Amino acid sequence: MTTLELGPLLRHVGTTTATIWVETSARCTVEVLGASAPTFEVSGQHYALVVVDGLEPGTCRPYEVRLDGELVWPMAGASTPPSYLRTRRRDVEGERLRFVFGSCRYPPTDDPELEASLGIDALDAYATRLMDLVADTDDPDAVLPETLCLLGDQVYADELTPRTQRWIRERRGPGVEPQDEIVDFGEYAHLYSESWTDRELRWLLSTVPTAMIFDDHDVRDDWNTSQTWREEMAAQPWWPERIRAALASYWVYQHLGNLDPATRDADPLYRKVLEADGDVFDLLSDFAGRADAEVGEPTGVRWSYRWDLGRTRLLMVDSRCARVLNTEDRLMINEHSFAWIEENANGFDDDVDHLLIGSSIPWLMPPAVSHVQSLDELAATKGSRLAEKVRQAVDLEHWPAFRASFDRLADVVRGVASGPNAPATVCVLSGDVHHSYAAEARYPSPTRSRVYQLTCSPVRNGVPWFMEYVFALGWSRRLSRLLGRVATTAGLDEPPLDWSTIGGPWFGNAVSTLEVTGRDAHLRVERSGARGGLEPVATLPLT
């Protein structure tokens, strides 16, 4: 009998459509609510995306998954509530929407010491609470959030659990490098299975529409930090296979479900995959190789995408694979992808109450840290080897380290926030930095929208104790002014905006919820407690 290996994951949901992603043990036909799709094969693994169409807007209903007619979900004995499929409502003024977000989730391990150091998984704690709420209500629609935004490091391909390290040694045999990192597609499939099969998270992903974007650990630490980094990695004999497997698996496990059905069906690569007879790994490997080779070009594969949720627009932005890293230009995002951001950030009338920009790495860092990153970039562009070493050693690779792109995003946000159809808020949602905070931005000329950087990280990971002091010091006004003067003396322009914290920094495993009702918005930050569960950290009004 064919089994359900992973999933179901509820991915893009519209007003009348919903996409469900699954991985199965063998070739089969997957059925959900009367809709069906055949699986496709990648490196011996089997996947399907089922699009349920013709649904009523604003409805909530339980669903099951069948493989060749056999019921496989809900799983027997799982003791979880049903998985629900909720369609979006059409444009409704005053609608309440909840966006849960976070990043950097290290998977469960079998090492008690490591488990103790990592602490309680905040996303698992959130899922447990949500399961209880759903089980205790006759109206799941009232308690379920509209979207879960996973902002990077869904898997850790270079920091493996002890269990996976043992599995790799047994799979490859002794002496095959790198012994402590993922290399091929099958190993990436194992990594996703390890991360997404625990009971609580699996139910959460089956019920809450999930938007994802990669960050460095989905591929490798410091991925695309600089051209020097790329050259160093290219010298490793195992790297070509690794980067192809990383991007091919990301396309399958994360990217396909991000797309609305019309966009996905129009994708030539997806059509080729569905039309192929047999394993399509070579097809995806070639695509991944081209995508990696296009880093540094003005055009390239666009991993960014857009979700419209009622009167809120979410732009999830690739800030890793769209970079330009040559000696003439150091850009966070190439021209092709930035033009897409500008078009979609500005392409609405007066029917958007909130604009959300998801970027795995923060746009507005602590101001002192921001100045240091821009100064390091300046030194690196002038040929300083020390600046390049520092850049990689302490992760000076966020938006301020690509100053031209930092300023261009500031211009985009200012244009939206000052326009005649300005939304109530423009919020940049980010993760990566293993602490959480909320900052408000101010432009020299007042804007009609409130502008925020909302950062939540990690869901489950840690940070060296001394970095807590570094990040806290980064918000010091005195230190920021001092470093700002150093930056202008070195030849850098002053940043086109100011910003300051309105909450945080907070440390520990956390999830955040941005809740909007009409043009009102507030942020709720929660941290996992020592005995499990979530503890409130802060609730901040944003309007």
Domain boundaries, the chain: 92-126+243-541
CA–chain centroid gap for 239, Å, is 23
What pLDDT was estimated at residue 471? Answer: 85
Which residue, 181, 183, 315, 197, is CA-closest to 249?
Answer: 183
What pLDDT was estimated at residue 349? Answer: 73
Per the CB < 8 A criterion, the answer to whether 125 and 534 are in contact is yes
Distance set, CA 203 to CA 75, 83, 127, 213, 387 (Å): 10, 7, 8, 20, 45
Per the CB < 8 A criterion, the answer to whether 428 and 364 are in contact is yes
What pLDDT was estimated at residue 380? Answer: 87
Q: Which amino acid makes up residue 284?
A: L
Provide the token pair at 266: 């129009």
- Cα-Cα end-to-end distance for the chain: 54
What pLDDT was estimated at residue 175? Answer: 77
Element (H, E) at 57: none
Provide the token pair at 504: 């945080």
This prediction has a pTM of: 0.96
Q: Domain 92-126+243-541, what architecture?
A: 2-Layer Sandwich (3.30)
Distance set, CA 64 to CA 76, 77, 254, 289, 355 (Å): 12, 15, 22, 37, 34
| Distance (Å, whole) CA 362 – CA 429 | 7
What pLDDT was estimated at residue 315? Answer: 98
What pLDDT was estimated at residue 327? Answer: 66
What DSSP string describes 241-303? HHHHHHHHHHIIIIIHHHS-HHHHHH-HHHHHHHH-SSB-HHHHHHHHHHHHHTTTSSS----
| Distance (Å, whole) CA 25 – CA 131 | 27
Residues of the chain with pLDDT under 70: 298, 327
